[in-house]
Amino acid sequence: MYRQVPANLATIIFVISKSKKTIAFIVYNLILTLRGIYLPHCKDKYINRSSINLVITSTKENKNLVNVDELKRLQLLQGLDQDSLEQLLKKSSLLEATPGKTIIAYGEINKYFYLLLTGRLCVYLDEEGISQTIIEAGENVGEMSIIDNHPTSARVVAETHCRLLVISESTMWQLVKESHAVCLNLLNSLSSRLRASDNRLYESEKKRLKSDYLASVDAMTSLYNRRWLDNNILPYLKSAVDTKQPVSILMIDLDHFKNYNDNHGHLAGDRVITVIAQTIMSNLRPMDRVVRYGGEEFLALLPNTTEDEAHKIGNKLCRIIRATAILDANGDPLSGITISIGAATMNSSAKESNTSLIKRADKALYRSKNSGRDQVSLAE
């Protein structure tokens, strides 16, 4: 579902080419291709081109604040020779940020690359404070907005007191073009973040799907609920019209359920609802759908089902429920119960609304109730 860059891609590139210049060229171009698969681009209305008021100290004037040994511990600069590190130090600046200070604002045009010397940064996906990830000392930030030249899609804030080496856009690109080590390190950094981002997206999607499922299912019976029916009945009716096939519904209600609750208690009543729900579901076809419509009332949605077939299915359910033994949680027998059913069918040419179809089935259900219960009535 999501495109990923393998974590060992840099190693593969190194194996297939012995020329350092060729490696740097390949990785440089691979880095450029990442622009469309890392983070979503911001829309123009979110762009904030105002600069961030942070005090940046030139390392030329404060040589004791950052040294070459400290740079050697940074992931991006692993493998860079002493002379290159010293030249980089001269071209860079030191930024010190207090906790809560914004390093990179959301939706701005960023022109700097940051290497975290000490401290910890927190990355937020938007201005509402949804945390995405933590940047630890030795890691880097700001590279994606420089690579794709788009407004930043996240906000970076100092979680603790931080010291950062600030590299200009031109200096960063010079490093990438001249050093295959920096290319490989940057690609590894990006691929690791892509993998982490994909994992977060995957977990987020799992939570969303689970949430959608729980919101569409009745907790007691595990049947679909009214929310699911409201969202899905129209496609069933449209499919019936498109395929010129009938669709039927059964409105099912437990007979004398209030008396049952009064005589046996609500726990026994809940047990009956659960047993009847599972019995109905297990005796319908895989393509049929059963909904807990409300309280002790159920709705069965039957695709490709004629009125005569719906009538036969309803009678079958009445017969099975009548003979179903109901036990309480301790395994002791409870009194049996019956059901009344109203059946309504929409022919493929009718183009009936879902409200009308349910209303007709409901009227048929009341006829079954008024005619003695434990039976099926067809809608007019």
Distance CA 41, CA 290 (A): 43
Would the CA dihedral through 42, 46, 50, 51 be positive or negative? negative
Distance CA 345, CA 348 (A): 10
Distance CA 177, CA 189 (A): 17
Weakest-pLDDT range from 10-14, 37-41, 220-224: 37-41
pLDDT-derived band of residue 1, with 50, 70 and 90 as boundaries? very low
DSSP state of 328: -
DSSP state of 190: H
In percent, how much of the chain has pLDDT > 90? Answer: 45
Contacts of residue 229, Cβ cutoff 8 Å, sequence gap at least 6: 291, 293, 299, 301
Superfamily for the 9-206 domain: Jelly Rolls (2.60.120.10)
pLDDT in tens, 71-90: 988 988 998 889 889 888 88
DSSP state of 125: S
Above 70 in pLDDT, residue 101? yes
Helix ranges (H only) for 95-168 are 143-148
pLDDT in tens, 156-170: 999 999 999 999 999
Given a contact cutoff of 8 angstroms between Cβ atoms, the answer to whether 127 and 153 are in contact is no
Could you state, in order of their start, the residue ranges of all structural domains in the chain? 9-206, 226-378
Weakest-pLDDT range from 16-20, 229-233, 314-318: 16-20
Give the pLDDT score at 124.
87
Average pLDDT over residues 173-189: 86
Distance CA 150, CA 142 (A): 11
Q: At what angle do helices 307-322 and 266-282 cross, to 10 degrees?
A: 140
Above 90 in pLDDT, residue 317? yes
For residue 171, which of 93, 119, 256, 109 has the smallest C-alpha distance?
93
For residue 113, which of 82, 69, 152, 144 has the smallest C-alpha distance?
144
Q: Please indicate whether residue 204 or residue 3 has the higher confidence score (pLDDT).
A: 204
DSSP state of 75: G
Give the pLDDT score at 18.
41
Q: Helix, strand, or coil here: 57?
A: strand
> Token digits for 348?
């493929």
pLDDT-derived band of residue 98, with 50, 70 and 90 as boundaries? very high
For residue 152, which of 17, 48, 231, 269 has the smallest C-alpha distance?
48
Q: Helix, strand, or coil here: 334?
A: strand
For residue 174, which of 227, 96, 226, 113 has the smallest C-alpha distance?
113
Q: Which fold has domain 226-378?
A: Alpha-Beta Plaits (3.30.70)
Task: Return the amino acid letter for 81.
Answer: D
Using only C-alpha atoms, the chain has a radius of gyration, in whole angstroms, of: 33
End-to-end CA distance of the chain: 49
Contacts of residue 184, Cβ cutoff 8 Å, sequence gap at least 6: 10, 13, 14, 23, 27, 79
Task: Return the amino acid letter for 198.
Answer: D
pLDDT-derived band of residue 352, with 50, 70 and 90 as boundaries? confident
Per DSSP, what are the bridge partners of residue 118?
Answer: 163
> Token digits for 78?
């692993």
Give the pLDDT score at 9.
45
Cα atoms in the Cβ-side hemisphere of radius 13 Å centred on 272: 28
Given a contact cutoff of 8 angstroms between Cβ atoms, the answer to whether 114 and 165 are in contact is yes
Secondary structure (DSSP) of 120-161: EEEEESSTT--EEEEEETT-EESHHHHHH----SSEEEESS-
Q: Please indicate whether residue 91 or residue 15 has the higher confidence score (pLDDT).
A: 91
Q: Please indicate whether residue 258 or residue 329 has the higher confidence score (pLDDT).
A: 258
Active site residues: 296
Other residues' Cβ atoms within 10 Å of the Cβ of residue 170: 10
pLDDT-derived band of residue 193, with 50, 70 and 90 as boundaries? confident
Burial environment of residue 329 by CB neighbours within 10 A (0 to 12, 13 to 18, 19 or more): exposed
Average pLDDT over residues 257-284: 94
Give the pLDDT score at 126.
63
